[in-house]
Amino acid sequence: MKKNRKHYLKIVEWSAEDGCYIGRCPELFLGGVHGQEEAKVYAELCTAVAEVVALIESKGDKLPPSLAAKDFSGKFVLRVDPDLHRLLAARAMIEGDSLNSYVVKKLQTA
């Protein structure tokens, strides 16, 4: 079904290690589309996603849920060792941040 392929997350990023753009679709565990031109990698990725969706549907299997179409609350619970919790809280305080803001900044640069 043509509309299904549009709902999957398609990511194209430059890989300094590989020296090229890498395209992937996490929901379909699809990766390895690569090349020197970002737009071409994206186009190839879209084609690959369409082919995988068609294959899954032709087998009568259920398509995996889409991250792109999902609504996220912006919250998740993370369990950590109490000592790590204490360390993060102390570092946040030193930087004048709340623990939440500090951890968000760290996650954004990870």
Q: What is the pLDDT of residue 6?
A: 61
Kindly list the strands in the beta sheet with 30-35, ordered across the sheet, starting from the edge strand earlier in the chain.
Answer: 11-15, 20-25, 30-35
Tell me what pLDDT residue 59 has.
Answer: 96
Inter-residue contact 103 to 87 (CB < 8 Å): no
Predicted confidence at residue 7, as pLDDT, reads: 85
- Ordered by start, the domain boundaries in the chain are 2-58, 72-110
Q: Residue 71 has what pLDDT? A: 87
- Is the pTM value of this prediction over 0.85? no
Per-residue tens of pLDDT for the chain, all 110 residues: 445 556 899 999 999 999 999 999 999 988 779 999 999 999 999 999 999 999 999 999 999 988 888 888 999 999 999 999 999 999 999 999 999 999 999 999 98
- What the block records as the tokens of 67 is 């991250």
Q: Which residues of 47-68 are buried (b: 16+ CB within 10 A; e: fewer)?
A: ebbeebbeeeeeeeeebeebee
Confirm if 40 and 23 have CB atoms less than 8 A apart.
Answer: no
Is 4 within 8 Å of 53 (Cβ atoms)? Answer: yes
Structure tokens at 1: 């079904």
Residues 6+ apart with CB under 8 A from 105: 97
Mention the CATH class of domain 2-58: alpha beta
